[in-house]
Amino acid sequence: MKILLTGSHGLLGQKLVGLLYQQPGVELVATSRGANRLADRFPALPYRPLDVTNAAQVSQVLAQERPTHLIHTAAMTQVDECELNQAACWLHNVTAVAHLAAACASLDIHLTHLSTDFIFNGQAGPLAEDAVPEPINYYGESKLAAERIVQATAGLRWAIARTVLVYGTLHGGGRSNIVLWVRDSLRKGQKIKVVADQWRTPTLAEDLAQGCWLLAYYSAQGIYHISGRELLTPYEMAEQVADFFGLDKGLLERVDSTTFKQPAKRPPRTGFSIVKAEKELGYQPRSFAAAIALLAQQTEVLT
C-alpha cells in the first residue's frame, strides 16, 4: 500500500512518519507546507510540498503520487486562534478537507480524516461514536463541518478518527504539553494553577498514530474514537506527573476553568469510549503512567 500523509511536520504527522517510514509493505509519501523539516531524521523519505487549501495543488499531487490511502492530519488546531481567526480556521479545517475528499473520491483513495472531541458540548462523557455532536466553539464547528463533508462525498471510502487532548514530544521544538509543562514548572519550584473541572481521555501521540495506521491498514469505514482509556482532569494528570518525577505536589493549585479567560469556550466533560476501536482494530493505548515514562525517556530525564 502507498500512504500519502498530510501535515508531516506536526506532532501526529511526525509520529506517523516514525511509525510508517520502515513499515513492511508501506510506501510513504510525506507532505506539508514548505521545505521538508524531517530530512535530517528520515533522509530517504519521499516528500512533496503541499498546501491542502489549494485545490489545484491537491489534485495535482494526488494524481501524480497515486496513493492507495491518505491520512489527513494537517489542520488549524489552536482553539483560541480558531475563535479569533474564523476565516483562516474554515479555510484550513473545512475547505481543505473538501478538496482532499473530492480528489480522493475521484482517484479511489481511502481517506483517514482526523477529528476531535470538541465537536461535543461537554455535558456527558465518555462518549461513544454515536453521540450527538453539538460544538460550543468555532474550532468544533469547523471540525464537525469537515466530518459532514467527508461523509457526504459521493464515492469516497473514508474513516474518521476522533481524538482527545493529544500530547507528546515534537522534534525541533514547538508547543509543550501538560506532562513537560508540569515537570519543568515544579522542578523550578513554580506554583502552577491546574484546572480540576474538565475531564478528558488524554491521548499519547504515538498511540493516535497507531490508531490511524490501523484505520488505513484495514481500510476501515466509519467513525472511530481513538484516545486514551482513562478519564482524567488536568489536575489529576498533573498529580501523576509530580508523583512520577518525585516533585512537590504542594505547588499544584486546583482551580476551575473560570480562572482562565480564553476566547473560546471549552467543553467541560468529554472523553471517549474506545471499545469499537479496541474490538474492530485491535487498538491498545498506553496508560497515562506509561506515557509519562515514555516522554521522560524521550526527553532524556531518566537517570
| pTM flag (> 0.75) | yes
Buried b (16+ CB within 10 A) or exposed e, 88-98: ebbebbbbbbb
Q: What amino acid occupies position 21?
A: Y
Q: Give the whole-angstrom CA distance, residue 190 versus residue 175.
A: 19
All three cell numbers of 61: 499531487
pLDDT digits (tens, 9 = 90+) for 50-74: 999 999 999 999 999 999 999 999 9
pLDDT at 22: 87
Q: Give the whole-angstrom CA distance, residue 36 versus residue 55.
A: 21
Nearest to 222 by CA among 163, 151, 154: 151
Q: Give the whole-angstrom CA distance, residue 247 versus residue 96.
A: 44
The half-sphere exposure of 3 on its side-chain side, counting CA atoms within 13 A, is 29
Q: Give the whole-angstrom CA distance, residue 211 versus residue 96.
A: 22
Q: Residue 144 in contact with residue 119, Cβ under 8 Å? A: yes
Q: Residue 261 in contact with residue 179, Cβ under 8 Å? A: no
Q: Give the whole-angstrom CA distance, residue 269 versus residue 110.
A: 32
Tell me which H or E stretch contains 47.
strand 47-49
pLDDT at 6: 98
pLDDT at 174: 66
Nearest to 208 by CA among 92, 297, 114: 114
Domains of the chain: 2-169+203-227+272-286 (3.40.50.720)
Interacting residues of 107 by C-beta distance below 8 A, sequence separation 6+: 62, 63, 66
Residues lower than pLDDT 70 in the chain:
173-175, 301-303
pLDDT at 277: 98
Q: What are phi and psi of 109, to 5 degrees?
A: -100, 130
pLDDT at 279: 98
Nearest to 167 by CA among 302, 5, 298: 298
